[in-house]
Amino acid sequence: MSVPIQTATVFISYSGQDDSFASQLISNLRERGISTWANAGFKPGETWVDQSQKALKESEIFVVSIRAHSEDSPWKFFELGAAVAAKKRIIPIALGDSTQPPALPAILSKYPVLINPSPLEAGQRVAEAVKKASKESRSN
């Protein structure tokens, strides 16, 4: 695994049905030296809620997977609301069998949506956002 070379941390919010996609995206980003956080790998009894809130607060970019007709958890929408309130860069990724994005929550209507990207394509787009965020944070 490479050492993170970017200052931006990417928080990835996804539901269980997107485990495979999220795992590949995380791997792709880490291969690029980008620090990621996703709600995975916790052991029973660990305080994942506290760790999740801390990671969201420290992240600069929030990636969220959305599916049509999915049973998204209320927790995903809590994370999304917190990301919007904290003025994070938000990258919605629409996954599924359609070339059209699913009906998005109103809160996401102002963000460009990646529609059915491969994990490699999504990784490239997120890496571009990380690079931009890193440049902006250095210039401030």
Q: Is pLDDT above 60 for 71?
A: no
Measured distance CA(124)–CA(28) in Å, rounded: 8
Give the domain extent around 119: 9-139
Q: Is 138 helix (H, G, I), strand (E, B) or coil?
A: helix
Q: Is 89 helix (H, G, I), strand (E, B) or coil?
A: strand
Within a domain: 92: yes
CB 113 within 8 A of CB 94: yes
Q: Which residue has the higher pLDDT, 111 or 42?
A: 111
Within a domain: 4: no
- Secondary structure in 3-state letters for 26-80: HHHHHHCCCEEEECCCCCCCCCHHHHHHHHHHHCCEEEEEEECCCCCCHHHHHHH
Q: What is the pTM of this model?
A: 0.84
Measured distance CA(50)–CA(67) in Å, rounded: 26
Report the pLDDT averaged over residues 124-135. 88
- Number of structural domains (the chain) is 1
- Residue 122: count of CB within 10 angstroms of its CB: 24
pLDDT tens digits for 55-67? Answer: 889 999 999 998 8
Within a domain: 2: no
Alpha-carbon separation of residue 105 from 4, 82, 136 (angstroms): 32, 14, 28
Within a domain: 3: no
> The domain spanning residue 113 has which CATH number?
3.40.50.360
Within a domain: 74: yes
Measured distance CA(85)–CA(32) in Å, rounded: 28
